[in-house]
Structure 1
Amino acid sequence: MHFFSYNVFAILSIFLIQVSKIACASSSSQNAITINNSVISNSWENLEIESTIDLLKSYTKQLVQLKVRNIGSTKNYFYYYPIESNLLDKIALYSAVKPFNLKSKKSLQSFHVEIDFFYLKIFIDGGISPNSILNFYLQLTFINNLKPFPEKIDLQDDTNILFNLLKYPYSPYTTNSYKFKIVGLAKEKEIKLIGKEDEYLNSLEDYKIGNSNEFKYNKEIKPFTYYPTSILYERKAPLPYVYNLKRDLWVSHYANSLSVEEYYELTNKAHELKKGFSRLEYIKSRLTMTPSFVLIALDVVLPKDFDGAYYYDKVGNVSTSRIVKDNHLILRPRYPLFGNWNYNFTIGWSLKLKDYVRRTNLVNSNDEYILKYNLLDGPSDCSVEKMELSIYLPENSKIIDIQSPIPYTSLVNSTENSFLDFKGHQKYTLVYNNLIDEFRSSQIIVKYKYDVNSYLLKPFLIGLYLFAGLILFRVFSK
């Protein structure tokens, strides 16, 4: 039975191997690959690196355009891109693609990428000959790496975020030209870190292009040049963060429905209150009608054909929700969420099964079905630390295959009893780490077998038990 396979996107190819520093150190003689930095440095030259960092959301996205040349004497089949150790457990997405035409990014060829110790190891199909040039893009997304500064403020104080970055590309190869742009900055300023002095420049302003948030440095940068810095910028928005999400998909052939239910454990990673909560101060701040770091509502994007949406928490049903734009469910928690305040809630909805489950088109396979549904729904501009996705298939069904668009860390099979079950629904739970709202465009595919005999068995057994019960009632009532 095949449980672990991947859905290949047109522009994305990911193969995830989570390797911790401790694990690599303890098993380096057997499993970990020892990387020879001197050999790496002599294999490539970075002719140009252009990086765009996007800070518009509650997580960070980075698009790196690289133009590299093979300076070795043989073909190169790998390119190594270092990742800072403190960001390894915060990676939500990484991919490398090669454009067939640099002016048009429509046609892309994906590369296979692995995490190898503190490097992204990019596999180049066919290799690159000596003195040849390769152009490709690297996409990175990190969660939980934006920190409010200071951590505690009053409601009327400015709300600033501290973002840590590197002044220069930290690369095992020599870099000839470096340019980067930061999107989403407002009232920004550099915060220099105490430590080694910068042998190239004193501050980011020294190589800023005009009044924009673009920076360029044209001198040669040595391999493994490491100069961290920080940028403080204004952000008048919350930092919603789901540290635990339990997502259930119930497949019912009898009701012809696909039921979705999600349980959230949510927090706000923005500023904490310095003096505690004051209702009067909060009402005064709300009267100004200005954007705030306080989380007062969530915009949950649902499938357009959803039906019967509900929303409740541990207290009971929450009526402060409404549907806008056909499929946007606006949820308002019972109380505003300031920094480090938590809220638990459950939402759910139903869908028509025929729109998401179909029979396979293979010959003599009328009993085989394919379920295809979104890997993630949920709030916009939100990241998820851990998600347990449970798929409940009909009683007596048999799983054939599960295809996931991204790797999962574990898969557990069990049974779950529901109404009038005898053996229980087949339950398959997949665990994912570090997800973002953009995974809503990804879909999980489940192939299973559910024949007519299994479909008719439950109503037959229910009827049999009812008939036996009536006979016993008739016998003992005399």
Structure 2
Amino acid sequence: MAARIWIFSVAVALFLSFSSAQDLQIVNAERRIDLSSHIVKAFLTLKVENIGKDPAADMLLAFPPTQIKHLSMVQAMAITGKKKKKTYLPLDVKPTEQPDAPNDTGYFLVSFATPLTLGETVTLEVLYILTHSLEPFPSEIAQSESQLVYYRDSAVILSPYHIKQQTTFFKTPSARVESFTSVDPANRAGKEIKYGPYEDRASYSYAPVIVHFENNSPFAVVEELVREIEISHWGSLQITENYRLTHGGARHKGVFSRVDYQSRRSISGSSSFNALLAVLPPKVNSVYYRDDIGNISTSHLRTGFKKSELEFEPRYPLFGGWRATFIIGYRVPLEDYLFEAPDGRRYLNFTFGCPLVETIVNKLTIKVVLPEGSKDPSAVLPFTVNQDLQVKYSYLDIVGRTVVVLQKDNVVPTHNVPFQVYYTFKPIYMLAEPFMLVSAFFFVFVASLAYVHIDLNIVKK
């Protein structure tokens, strides 16, 4: 066992010595972590300098293994200009692996717009989002209790590069902070906890901290969402969304009192939620909302030119661990979302993600049902998803309709961006179903006519 520990220590030391000799260093780093909801958003501002002889085309972002499994999205932009003349250039960010990564550290590779030469600097804005990173403590609470959660991180930024100066800020939803780990210099003012500034931290420095604070924001988690988008070339898109929703916070213990909940909503049930907001496309029509029992009328729809908002309530408020299943359906005009590409293909341009505001989706499946006769389907998205093809049969279908299936886990509102599905379609196929209907009616007419004129009576001669 001692030999194994010695070998591991030597390997880590070699790796750290290699990392400290990198051609990049971070001159200044500021990290702001927003803990105001159950979706943790971290904003990094990095001033990166090339101190090596060779041009540097990219850099690494490092994350501890406890965050990698909860990491939903990483974005990076390069900043040029100052103050009001600032411009932001999106950069390519991809997950990558490094040999002999210490303690299972995860990495993302950020590619610069232009390689950095010796002494040149670039300022980056990095956004990364974490889900299921707030741990309720206590894990069970009564109806009248507020929800307290733990958040675990580091006072200093985990990085494979030397950082000359850095500061970390934690923003909590309220001023009620039960405790936080002190790593000098550290202080708290109202809703903000500040760690640093820290000077000349070596690569892969780590200082664990725990913040224990109150967070009664709705912990709305969609365990599974299946969105079906059916394209009809006769004039509309039909969208059907099946939800399995749960409250992902501290589990409810004891009995539920409807009287206390109705009379003292802000005190009795402060961590629960009884209303949801779905942001739908503009010009929606035929909107419905129902659960296993039937249609629910406790909803309000507001339509506009840029978006529509559906505010609705489940049949009962949701406390920690409680679940609800329901369906939302609506139609939108086809001409706003279906277009023709220069090469003659048609393509659907719609929004990925979940319409519910501030919601985590553990498993999202989007099924795009193409018209019968469509061929060569392909999907274009700005991030990686699992893609598959299926076949669906509907009324009057002969060969079935091609279904493009897109599946992604750990989805957050930042994923609500447009995506495209391309396919080829010959207009002659639009006549297939009308021809079948006409043929069916003609066959019934001929059969009825023959039945009326045929004498089936038995006559004796």
Question: Which residue identity does 1:456 align to in structure 2?
Answer: L
1:266 maps to which residue?
A: 245
- Give yes or no for contact 1:155–1:285 (8 Å, CA) kept in 2: no
Cα gap change, 1:347/1:433 in structure 2, threshold over 3 Å: closer, same or farther? Answer: same
Looking at structure 2, the residues matched to 215 and 227 of structure 1 have their Cα atoms a distance apart, in angstroms, of 11
Superposition pairs of residues 53-68 of structure 1, within 5 angstroms: 53-68=33-48
Aligned-residue offset at 1:399: 3.5
Cα gap change, 1:445/1:383 in structure 2, threshold over 3 Å: closer, same or farther? Answer: same
- Give yes or no for contact 1:42–1:72 (8 Å, CA) kept in 2: no
Equivalent of 1:190 in 148, 158, 179: 179
Mapped pair 1:71 → 2:47: no
1:466 maps to which residue?
A: 441
2:450 maps to which residue?
A: 475
Cα gap change, 1:225/1:432 in structure 2, threshold over 3 Å: closer, same or farther? Answer: same
Mapped pair 1:297 → 2:275: yes
Mapped pair 1:396 → 2:373: yes
Aligned-residue offset at 1:325: 6.5
Which fold has the larger relative contact order, with Cα–Cα distance below 8 Å and residues 6 or more apart in sequence?
1
Mapped pair 1:237 → 2:217: yes
Aligned-residue offset at 1:337: 1.0
Mapped pair 1:87 → 2:67: yes
1:322 maps to which residue?
A: 300
- Give yes or no for contact 2:19–2:203 (8 Å, CA) kept in 1: no
Equivalent of 2:111 in 94, 118, 123: 123
- Give yes or no for contact 2:155–2:195 (8 Å, CA) kept in 1: no
Equivalent of 1:430 in 406, 412, 424: 406
Mapped pair 1:163 → 2:151: yes
Aligned-residue offset at 1:331: 1.6
- Give yes or no for contact 2:283–2:303 (8 Å, CA) kept in 1: no
1:334 maps to which residue?
A: 315
Looking at structure 2, the residues matched to 334 and 393 of structure 1 have their Cα atoms a distance apart, in angstroms, of 34
1:359 maps to which residue?
A: 340
Percent of aligned pairs with the same amino acid: 23
**Structure 1: any 5+ residue segments left out of the alignment?**
1-34, 193-202
Aligned-residue offset at 1:377: 4.4
Work out which of the two has the higher radius of gyration on C-alpha atoms and give 1 or 2. Answer: 2
**Structure 2: any 5+ residue segments left out of the alignment?**
1-13, 98-105, 455-461
Looking at structure 2, the residues matched to 296 and 227 of structure 1 have their Cα atoms a distance apart, in angstroms, of 39
- Give yes or no for contact 2:390–2:403 (8 Å, CA) kept in 1: yes
- Give yes or no for contact 2:141–2:252 (8 Å, CA) kept in 1: yes
- Give yes or no for contact 1:156–1:285 (8 Å, CA) kept in 2: no
Equivalent of 1:454 in 429, 433, 442: 429
Mapped pair 1:376 → 2:353: yes
Equivalent of 1:178 in 166, 170, 195: 166
Cα gap change, 1:391/1:465 in structure 2, threshold over 3 Å: closer, same or farther? Answer: same
Looking at structure 1, the residues matched to 193 and 33 of structure 2 have their Cα atoms a distance apart, in angstroms, of 10
Q: 1:464 is paired with a residue of what secondary structure?
A: helix
Output one character per residue of 1:344-402: Cα deviation in whole Å (capped at 9) or x when no partner.
1110111111111123355xx3xx32211111342111111111100011111224532
Q: 2:199 is paired with a residue of what secondary structure?
A: coil
1:313 maps to which residue?
A: 291
2:6 maps to which residue?
A: none
TM-align CA RMSD:
2.3
Cα gap change, 1:158/1:178 in structure 2, threshold over 3 Å: closer, same or farther? Answer: same
2:93 maps to which residue?
A: 113
Q: Is 290-299 or 378-387 further displaced after alignment?
A: 290-299
Output one character per residue of 1:204-247: Cα deviation in whole Å (capped at 9) or x when no partner.
57333766533332322222222211111222222001121100
Aligned-residue offset at 1:262: 0.5
Cα gap change, 1:125/1:359 in structure 2, threshold over 3 Å: closer, same or farther? Answer: closer
1:249 maps to which residue?
A: 229
Compute the TM-score of the two structures, normalised by the length of structure 2.
Answer: 0.86
Q: 1:177 is paired with a residue of what secondary structure?
A: strand
Cα gap change, 1:133/1:452 in structure 2, threshold over 3 Å: closer, same or farther? Answer: closer
Question: Which residue identity does 2:429 align to in structure 1?
Answer: S
Looking at structure 1, the residues matched to 269 and 142 of structure 2 have their Cα atoms a distance apart, in angstroms, of 15
Q: 1:406 is paired with a residue of what secondary structure?
A: coil
Question: Which residue identity does 2:311 align to in structure 1?
Answer: I
Aligned-residue offset at 1:178: 1.0
Looking at structure 1, the residues matched to 149 and 184 of structure 2 have their Cα atoms a distance apart, in angstroms, of 19
Looking at structure 2, the residues matched to 339 and 153 of structure 1 have their Cα atoms a distance apart, in angstroms, of 8
- Give yes or no for contact 2:227–2:365 (8 Å, CA) kept in 1: yes
- Give yes or no for contact 2:156–2:168 (8 Å, CA) kept in 1: no
Q: 2:69 is paired with a residue of what secondary structure?
A: helix
Cα gap change, 1:102/1:385 in structure 2, threshold over 3 Å: closer, same or farther? Answer: farther
Looking at structure 1, the residues matched to 357 and 440 of structure 2 have their Cα atoms a distance apart, in angstroms, of 48
- Give yes or no for contact 1:174–1:221 (8 Å, CA) kept in 2: yes
